[in-house]
Amino acid sequence: MTHDASAPVYGSAVTKVEPFGVDHIPETERHGKPSSQFFVWFAAGLNFPIILLGFSAAWFGLSFPAAVTAIVIGAALGSLLMAVMSRMGVRLGVPQQIQARGPLGFFGNFIPVAYINVFAGIGWAAVTVILGGKAFAGLTHMPFWLCAGLLTLIEMVVAVFGYNMINFLQKALTYVLTPLFALITVVAVVRGGSIFHANPDAQGYIGSTGGLVTFGGWFLSFLVAWAPFASDYSRYLPDTPAVITRTAWYTGLGNFVTICWLGILGVVVGGSATSSDSITALHQLAGPFALPALLAVGLSALAQNFLNVYGGAISIQTLKVPVTRSQAVIGICVLAYALSLWGESGTEAKFKVFLNLTAYFIAPFVAVLLLDYYLGGRSDASRIPELYDRSRVLDWGFVAWAGGVAASVPFWQSDFYTGPFSVAHPGAGDLSMFVATGAGAALYLLTYRLKPLWVKGAGETRRPSGEQDRSRTMASRNH
């Protein structure tokens, strides 16, 4: 019996293991609706760390209106970025990590993907497992290690099944989590909501402008950290102008609503929280409604980590590590679980340090990808085979990315490292991400018309076996 070449191998089947990894998604496999992107990102944004970031408004000495303004601006910029990156996935049909091979080169892409996507994916997965594990431990009174292990196991199974199951469960979790977080909102505001004024004597006061920049930058950073994965969840959608436009709107809206909602909630109740431990603070805020609140935090960990684990696995394959997508998922889950056991205490401080460090490295990476797509001609689908051409070893985009990171180092403002500019001018706030973006963009504009830095051999475009257009053979390899 012969297989119909026009029939999809994967299609919209939810219970079939996704056969694709870093491959270009062929037209026969394109399916789904743009509205799916709203549910993917809305569910991922419903998480307690966003509320924790909002707690810091009073610590910075910001007034209530200033804090809300900073959150809205940061969320708007980050949501716009996510919307544009999601469009790229629909147009090109490849993961964001593979798209970066265009401006950086096939092997030049290895270093940023190794740090930005693999390291960050594992790190974010660990942070989320800690919060979810603590929530379920408080809910069930089982030990943390067991709750974290069960949470990790669920994430691993779902990520192995892949794209369709993730989309299905993100939609389901949206309907479950929205009323739970609405309950948290009402109870927390009634029990501890307050409107406050600017306080120049606050513990973390660094000047009204600097505090505004740093505080709003945290919410922007949260979405910047998702940007290297944005196309991963839109690349199966049909490549039509209408779908591309609607995908951008749904992606942007899904991110903007949750970041603003929970960030502002954190500002409203931040003054009443007396503990820096997330779960203790949640108990204080929710009071007699702590059990549904803990359930919300535990389930929201799943919504986040489906994406972290899946995106991290694709990143490992981008590095040409000889594993299937399913094997990469298992490896990431094991490492994330081990990290969660190590980092169970002091989670909130580690979270903010990790948030800063990822943003410093991701911001110029994203700037280079966007400029290459719109100015470098990468939106041309006929150039997709270049992304799989090993002869394109190194390109100038790598220099632009590395230069952007290097330029930002003097401006770093973190417990991990504080740069000389930040030491000398603490009131300026954390400008690192903006400097990295500007420097990376400037270097790209200066170099993108130059010949590639390193082309191996004659530079003939090749289609390496085992990576491109394997829609008929990958099913057996990724199970």
Mean local confidence (pLDDT), 435-439:
97
Mean local confidence (pLDDT), 113-122:
83
Q: Which of 196, 195, 186, 194 is nearest to 286 (CA)?
A: 186
Position of tokens 């979405």? Answer: 223
Contact 76/68 with Cβ under 8 angstroms?
no
Strand-pairing partners, residue 394, are: 454
Rg of the chain over Cα atoms, rounded to whole angstroms, equals 22
Q: Which of 48-52, 87-91, 133-137, 376-380 has the lowest mean pLDDT?
A: 48-52
pLDDT at position 348: 57
Query: Confidence class of residue 84 from pLDDT cuts 50, 70 and 90?
Result: very high
Output phi, psi for 269, to 5 deg. Answer: -105, -5
Percent of the chain with pLDDT over 70: 90
Set out the domains of the chain in order of their start, with CATH numbers: 35-477 (1.10.4160.10)
Contact 31/236 with Cβ under 8 angstroms?
yes
* Model pTM above 0.75: yes
pLDDT at position 278: 66
Look up residue 380 and give its DSSP letter: -
Mean local confidence (pLDDT), 117-130:
86
**Element holding 400 (H helix, E strand):** helix 396-408
Please give the Cα distance from 160 to 478 (Å, whole number): 9
117 CB neighbour count, 10 Å cutoff = 29
Encoded tokens for 287: 């009071």
Contact 90/308 with Cβ under 8 angstroms?
no
Given a cut of 50, is residue 471 above it in pLDDT?
Answer: no
Given a cut of 70, is residue 350 above it in pLDDT?
Answer: no
Given a cut of 50, is residue 462 above it in pLDDT?
Answer: no
Q: Which of 274, 251, 327, 244 is nearest to 58 (CA)?
A: 274
Strand-pairing partners, residue 455, are: 392
The SS3 call for residue 235 is coil
Given a cut of 60, is residue 466 above it in pLDDT?
Answer: no
Encoded tokens for 228: 């290297």
Given a cut of 60, is residue 463 above it in pLDDT?
Answer: no
Mean local confidence (pLDDT), 59-79:
95
| Average pLDDT in the chain | 89
More confident position, 46 or 415 = 46
